[in-house]
Structure 1
C-alpha cells in the first residue's frame, strides 16, 4: 500500500471541494437562469453535460487509481455541497426559522 503524505491528502480534499463548488454552484446558477429562459431544456441539459464532464475528469485525475485519494476527493465534494447549500439559501427561509425559534412556538403549530 502506498504511503500518502498529508500534503497529497489535503490536495485531494481541496480538489474535491473545488469540484463540488463547480458542480453545485453551477447547478444553482443553472436553475436560476433556466427558470426564466425561453429554452430551459438547453440550459439544464447543457449544464448537466458540462458539469458532469468537469467533475468526472477531475475525479479521474485526482483519484489516479488510488482509492484513498479518490475518497478524500469525494469527501471534499460532499463538503462543498453543504457549503453551497448554506450560502445559497434564500434569506426568507433563514428569517422564518429564526422567527419561529424566538417565538417559542413549536414548528408544527
Structure 2
C-alpha cells in the first residue's frame, strides 16, 4: 500500500511519519507539505502515487480537496488529528504516529 503523509511544511510531522513507517513490510511511504515553501511540496504526481493519504490536521485535508478534488476523488484520506506541537522524531510524536496510523490503516 502506498501511503502519503502530509503536513504543512514537511518539516517535522510528516517526515517523522515517513521515517517511522518506512520499514513496514506492507507499506511504501512518502511525505509532503501543503505549503508552497515546504521542504517537499505536494504535487499531483505524489497524489496519484498514493493509495492512502494521511494528513495531520483537517486544514490539510481541506486544502487538498480544494486544490485537487478530481485527482483525489477516489482516494482514502485519514485525518490523524496530530497538532503542530512536536519536533522531528519527538518520542511522543513517534508514539502517536505508531498508534494512530496503525489503527487507521488496520495494521
Same fold (TM over 0.5): no
Structure with higher Rg: it is 1
Richer in helix (by share): 1
TM-score by length of 2: 0.23
**Larger RCO: 1 or 2 (CA < 8 Å, sep 6+):** 1
More strand by share: 2
